[in-house]
């Protein structure tokens, strides 16, 4: 009954969708590919916006109190920055929103939702996500959350300014409504992530094509599967905490406000009895799995592109899969390593330190497998491959520099310094974002039928690599010299120069050399900005003017998304594909071609 | 290609898609309410001895609400079972009862919220505490000295109208039905069956009042948790009731065209409803009894 | 619906067995509720015993609702797996947070 039902239905089904019109097809679409592109464009716009916030912050750090060039008048007119100078409050707003936007509106939607939505159903041989309408709702919730966050810049008092971590009591003690907007925006973003996570997990469990067993899944799908579980189970406590902080702000409760709290010198008119540490625990319960959400999809992309461009299987598929599962599992019980300075006792600090050290093992296994995968490969040095090859040492630096931070004793010195900023930016910027760039160059021909320009891709790569290192490498030294985070004057108040002029003891002050690095970092940031221009132009120009891909599978890849027409039609596969082998059957001895697609029948 | 396993289960997992989806969603809800329960534990353990309220909620009403939800739980599963047995009219009857139970629950909850809303605690200047339900308040028009009795509390002072028509009123006295205690801790432990506190009407002059506030979420962390936990739970009750009402009403047309798919939808909404009942099974003792 | 008469009867018989079970669970839940309320008034001495008793009964009721009304007792391994991980992380959140509040460095300041 089901079979006859399907055959008679599919014809009318196709016709019905073609009659959708512009709104149904592109704006209110339930097709995972359209939704993936919607997520992709929106998140890239937010990434650019967050990047611009960073540029203004770096200016302020290098030239505190001086009007921002070019955009100073804009800041004055739109945000009330007098004479185009970034005040301390405005700097804090930029800082809080830079973090929030880059993580929740930029990287996660791009890595998980955009790439995941477009690629995962194709890779597993499914016609769409398990719940297409829920998928559309999840994008719309993301868009609403993003609009709320963006709008908060323009309300009186400006956006949230207590860091992306929004620690209480500071977050709720600031008189403006920025934090309220942040909290409501977060509720929408969390809802979007939860709906997306449910969809991904159900799709991967239920909609794998016949023959697509768990151990034949491309590693990218495994990475997205674990990421979805992290989002599903780690976000709700932050949602609960956001609701409680919203109650603190709007209903004057004291969930996170301690007894005897004084604001501005006066006793706050609240009941007290709350706990600021409670916010930190609930925040970091999400916060730590969140960083694995940032890295796992990237590792998945890297695996796919390495296999494809070395023309050999990934080394250690099983190790990769089990490591990803273990990383996901352990990520839930390491969170308080972000809280070593909160006065925890030795036993609990040791517990978290131990789990933190243990979690580095599967991370290293994953990186090692990816490195070893290069050995003996016939490497094609195209743009995607350059980005993923750079990912490997860059993520290596980022990950290794995390080890001292995980040890509570050393963290006492490094906590809240620029060392931390360098550590996590190395992982996300020349780490995850490089993998995402690689993914864009790689899957571009599947979505558009055209290749992005190789020359400008390589220009984009080399300039980005050089400038990212110039930006973040000095920060390790600045952090170890004692430079703290979130200082709106770039540390001038603590610099030896300023303090020696005032006659104070300069031991422990930030040296001239440390302060001078700000100028170099600013120039490197400007260089990085310029390096993105060829990418943006290349991206849009190549949609219509790029070299035609020539086939549905220009990279000669084995995974299922390359075995569809270009772009894949609604429903993806005309008939349900059958999978006969694993995902990385490259250079199999005795075969006429150096790759065998997963769904090619045995001969 | 159509999306498979929307109704028929997938052979190796034995599940249809929506069932996987709802259990995943419920897992996230466990973490959501779990975080709130963790907050409850931490704030309660952290409270100084004697300062955590007990017995502030009406146990008979709470018990009634618990029984109402339990009833709705069995009618939910019976509604699904009726569909499995092909008895559509039985399904309609059972889910009608479910919806009536949902509305009853919310009405009882509203009256409980109201009871807290009109319950005031005033810190008096002589160091005692006046506590009780609001009866009336006398306000004085600061310009004309006219007295006005209000049936709801408008704060220590309030203004009506704008500009030149503005009328300013100051509180003169408040009449509460309750008692006055000398130690605020006496307002906290009310759970035991021993002491029966005698409540009577009494009036407090505004000049004696240092601070007056009702038992809203801002009153202390207990009320904050109570309103947040039960409020979030009530939102889930409303959401679940809306879905069940849709399936009972306009959505039930699907029974004619695709009965199996409709039965699955009723099962999924039932799972959500049972989860809502589960949360209440823990909320009730934690907030009302312990 | 009407094209499978034999299957229909078999389902019907199967279900009357289930319906009886649902009814027993219902009675057990009512009973459990009454016991919880009464037990909360028993002076055990230490309040923590009241808390333990209350939570124990609540857990038993939860087991009945989840096991029988939500059919968890006859569900598939996949669902068990998902809920097992959830339970583990939920307990982790609760206990590790409580532990971190309870474990403080020893006093170093002497009077």
How many residues belong to chain C?
A: 111
Touching partners of C (3+ C-beta pairs < 8 Å): A, B
The C-side interface with A (CB below 8 A) comprises: 78, 85-86, 89, 92-93, 96-97, 99-105
Contact C96 A344 (CB under 8 A): no
Average pLDDT of the residues of chain B? 92
Q: Work out how many CB contacts closer than 8 A connect A with B.
A: 145
pLDDT at C101: 80
Which residue from B192, B188, B184 is spatially nearest to B289, judged by alpha carbons?
Answer: B192
State how far the Cα of C25 lies from the Cα of C64, in Å rounded to an integer. 7
Write down the pLDDT at residue A26.
84
Closest CA to A116 of A301, A290, A292, A388: A301
Three-state DSSP state, A384: helix
Distance CA B272, CA B263 (A): 15
Q: Which residues of C9-32 are buried (b: 16+ CB within 10 A; e: fewer)?
A: eebeeebeebeeebeebbeebbeb
pLDDT at A38 over 50: yes
- Model pLDDT for residues A93-129, shown as the tens digit of each residue: 999 999 999 999 999 999 999 999 999 999 999 999 9
Mean predicted lDDT score pLDDT of chain A? 93
Note the ipTM here. Answer: 0.94
Rg (CA), chain C: 22
Q: Which residues, listed in sequence order, are joined to residue B148 by a DSSP beta bridge?
A: B139
Nearest to A299 by CA among A438, A106, A469: A438
Q: Are A84 and A76 in contact (CB under 8 A)?
A: yes
For residue B222, give how far its alpha carbon lies from the nearest alpha carbon of chain A (Å): 9
Rounded to two decimals, what is the model's pTM? 0.93
**Residues A250, B216 contacting (CB under 8 angstroms):** no
Is C42 near chain B, with CB under 8 Å? no
Tell the burial category of C84 from Cβ atoms under 10 Å away from its Cβ (0-12, 13-18, 19+): exposed
In chain C, positions 46-105, which contact chain B (CB-CB < 8 Å)?
47, 50-51, 54-55, 57-58, 61-62, 65-66, 69-70, 76, 78-79, 82-83, 85-87, 89-90, 93-94, 97-98, 101-102
Segment A9-30 mean pLDDT: 64
- Is pLDDT at C14 greater than 90 in this prediction? no
Q: Report how far residue A557's alpha carbon sits from residue A564's, in angstroms, rounded to the nearest whole number.
A: 12
B190/C contact by beta carbon, under 8 A: no
Task: Tell me what pLDDT residue B164 has.
Answer: 85
The closest CB to that of C70, out of B46, B84, B271, belongs to: B271
d(CA B204, CA A54): 58
Count the neighbouring beta carbons within 10 Å of the beta carbon of residue A527.
16
pLDDT on residue A594: 92
Q: Give the 3-state DSSP-derived string for A227-262, with helices as H, strands as E and coil as C.
A: HHHHHHHHHHHHHHHHHHHHHHHHCCCCCCCCCCCE
Q: B35 vs chain C: nearest CA distance in angstroms? A: 7
Q: What are phi and psi of A568, to 5 degrees?
A: -60, 140
Please report residues of B whose CB lies closer than 8 A to that of A255: 39, 43, 221, 224-225, 228
Chain C residues with beta carbon closer than 8 angstroms to that of A286: none
Q: Does B81 touch chain C (CB under 8 A)?
A: yes
Which band of pLDDT confidence, cut at 50, 70 and 90, is reported for residue A448? very high
Residues A362 and A324 sit within 8 Å (Cβ to Cβ)? yes
Region A202-207: what's the mean pLDDT?
96
pLDDT at A450 over 60: yes
Q: How confident is the model at residue A460 (pLDDT cuts 50, 70, 90)?
A: very high
Q: Do A130 and B3 touch (CB under 8 A)?
A: yes
d(CA A491, CA C92): 39
By the CB < 8 Å criterion, does B224 face chain A?
yes
pLDDT-derived band at A16 (thresholds 50, 70, 90) equals very low
pLDDT of residue A504: 63
| B136/B172 Cα distance (integer angstroms) | 11
Q: A344 and C93 in contact by Cβ < 8 A?
A: no
Q: Rounded mean pLDDT of B166-173?
A: 91
User: Quick check: helix, strand or coil at residue A548?
Assistant: strand
CB A420 within 8 A of CB A414: yes
Phi-psi region at A376: left, alpha or beta (left = phi > 0; alpha = psi -120 to 50): left
Which pLDDT score, from 0 to 100, does residue A507 have? 65
**What are the angstrom distances between the C-alpha of C22 and each of A305, B95, C70?**
54, 16, 11
Instruction: Tell which residue, B223, C79, B122, B272, has the closest CA to residue A252.
Output: B223
């Amino acid at each position: 009954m089901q079979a006859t039902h399907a055959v008679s239905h599919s014809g009318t089904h196709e016709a019905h969708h073609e009659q959708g019109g512009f709104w149904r097809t592109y704006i209110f679409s339930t097709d995972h590919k359209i939704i993936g592109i919607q997520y992709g464009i929106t998140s890239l716009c937010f990434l650019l916006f967050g990047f611009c916030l960073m540029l203004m912050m770096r200016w302020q750090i290098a030239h505190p109190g001086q009007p921002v060039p070019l955009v100073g008048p804009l800041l004055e007119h739109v945000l009330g920055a007098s004479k185009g100078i970034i005040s301390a409050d405005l700097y804090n707003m930029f800082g809080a929103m830079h973090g929030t936007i880059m993580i929740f509106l930029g990287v996660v939607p791009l890595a998980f939702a955009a790439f995941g939505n477009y690629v995962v159903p194709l890779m597993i041989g499914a016609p769409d996500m398990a719940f297409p309408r829920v998928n559309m709702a999840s994008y719309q919730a993301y868009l609403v959350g993003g609009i709320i966050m963006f709008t908060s810049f323009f309300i009186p008092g400006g956006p949230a300014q207590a860091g992306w971590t929004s620690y209480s009591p500071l977050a709720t003690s600031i008189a403006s409504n920025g934090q309220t907007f942040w909290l409501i925006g977060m509720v929408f973003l969390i809802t979007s992530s939860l709906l997306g996570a449910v969809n991904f997990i159900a799709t991967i469990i239920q909609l794998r094509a016949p023959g697509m067993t768990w151990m034949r899944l491309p590693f990218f799908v495994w990475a997205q599967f674990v990421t979805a579980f992290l989002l599903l189970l780690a976000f709700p406590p932050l949602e609960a905490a956001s609701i409680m902080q919203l109650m603190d702000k709007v209903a004057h409760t004291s969930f996170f406000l301690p007894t005897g709290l004084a604001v501005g010198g006066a006793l706050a008119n609240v009941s007290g009895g709350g706990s600021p540490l409670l916010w930190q625990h609930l925040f970091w319960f999400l916060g730590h799995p969140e960083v694995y959400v940032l890295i796992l999809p990237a590792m998945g992309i890297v695996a796919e592109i390495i296999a494809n461009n070395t023309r050999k299987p990934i080394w250690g598929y099983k190790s990769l899969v089990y490591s990803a599962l273990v990383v996901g599992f352990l990520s839930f019980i390491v969170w308080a390593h972000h809280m070593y300075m909160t006065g925890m006792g030795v036993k609990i600090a040791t517990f978290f330190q131990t789990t933190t050290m243990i979690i580095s093992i599967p991370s290293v296994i994953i990186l090692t497998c990816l490195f070893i995968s290069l050995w003996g490969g016939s490497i094609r040095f195209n743009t995607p491959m350059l980005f993923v090859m750079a990912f490997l040492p860059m993520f290596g630096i980022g990950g290794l520099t995390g080890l001292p931070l995980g040890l509570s004793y050393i963290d006492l010195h490094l906590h809240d310094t620029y060392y931390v900023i360098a550590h996590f930016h190395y992982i996300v910027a020349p780490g995850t974002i490089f993998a995402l760039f690689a993914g864009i160059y790689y899957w571009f021909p599947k979505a558009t039928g055209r290749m992005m320009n190789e020359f400008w891709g390589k220009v984009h790569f080399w300039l980005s690599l050089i400038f990212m290192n110039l930006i973040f490498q000095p920060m390790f030294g600045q952090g170890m010299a004692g430079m703290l985070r979130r200082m709106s004057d770039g540390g001038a108040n603590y610099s030896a120069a300023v303090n020696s002029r005032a006659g104070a003891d300069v031991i422990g002050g930030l040296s001239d050399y440390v302060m001078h690095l700000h100028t170099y970092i600013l120039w490197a940031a400007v260089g990085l900005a310029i390096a993105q221009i060829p990418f943006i132009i290349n991206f849009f120009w190549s949609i219509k003017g790029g070299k035609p891909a020539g086939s549905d599978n220009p990279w000669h890849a084995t995974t299922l998304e390359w075995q569809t027409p270009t772009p894949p039609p609604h429903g993806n596969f005309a008939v349900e594909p059958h999978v006969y082998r694993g995902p990385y059957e490259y250079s199999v001895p005795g075969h006429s071609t150096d790759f065998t697609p997963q769904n090619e029948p045995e001969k | 290609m159509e999306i498979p396993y929307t109704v028929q289960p997938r052979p190796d997992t034995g599940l249809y898609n929506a069932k996987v989806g709802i259990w995943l969603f419920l897992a996230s809800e466990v973490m959501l309410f779990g975080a709130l329960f963790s907050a409850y534990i931490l704030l309660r353990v952290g409270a100084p001895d004697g300062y955590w309220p007990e017995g502030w909620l009406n146990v008979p009403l709470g018990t009634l609400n618990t029984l109402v939800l339990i009833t709705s739980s069995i009618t939910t599963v019976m509604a699904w079972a009726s569909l499995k047995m092909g008895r559509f009219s039985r399904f309609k009857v059972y889910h009608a009862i479910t919806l009536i139970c949902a509305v009853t629950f919310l009405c009882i909850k509203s009256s409980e919220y109201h009871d807290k809303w009109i319950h005031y605690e005033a810190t008096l200047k002589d160091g005692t505490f006046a506590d009780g339900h609001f009866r009336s308040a006398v306000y004085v028009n600061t310009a004309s000295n006219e007295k006005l009795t209000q049936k709801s509390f408008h704060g220590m002072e309030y203004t009506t109208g704008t500009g030149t028509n503005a009328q300013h009123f100051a509180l003169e006295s408040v009449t509460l039905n309750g008692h006055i205690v000398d130690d605020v801790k006496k307002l906290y432990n009310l759970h035991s069956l021993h002491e029966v506190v005698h409540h009577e009407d009494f009036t407090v002059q505004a000049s004696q009042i240092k601070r007056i506030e009702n038992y809203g979420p801002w009153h202390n962390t207990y009320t904050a948790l109570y309103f947040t936990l039960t409020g979030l739970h009530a939102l889930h009750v409303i959401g679940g009731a809306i879905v069940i009402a849709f399936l009972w009403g306009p959505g039930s047309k699907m029974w004619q065209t695709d009965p199996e798919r409709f039965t699955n939808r009723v099962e999924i909404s039932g799972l959500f409803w049972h989860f809502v009942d589960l949360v209440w099974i823990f909320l009730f003792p934690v907030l009302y009894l312990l | 619906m009407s094209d499978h008469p034999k299957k229909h009867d078999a389902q019907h018989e199967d279900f009357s067995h289930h319906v009886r079970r649902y009814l027993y669970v219902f009675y057990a839940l009512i009973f459990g509720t009454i016991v919880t309320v009464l037990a909360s008034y028993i002076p055990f001495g230490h309040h923590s015993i009241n808390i333990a008793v209350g939570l124990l009964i609540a857990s038993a009721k939860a087991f009945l609702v989840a096991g029988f009304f939500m059919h968890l007792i006859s569900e598939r391994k996949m669902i068990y797996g998902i809920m097992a991980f959830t339970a583990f992380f939920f307990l982790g959140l609760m206990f590790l947070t409580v532990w971190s509040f309870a474990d403080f460095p020893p006093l170093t300041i002497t009077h």
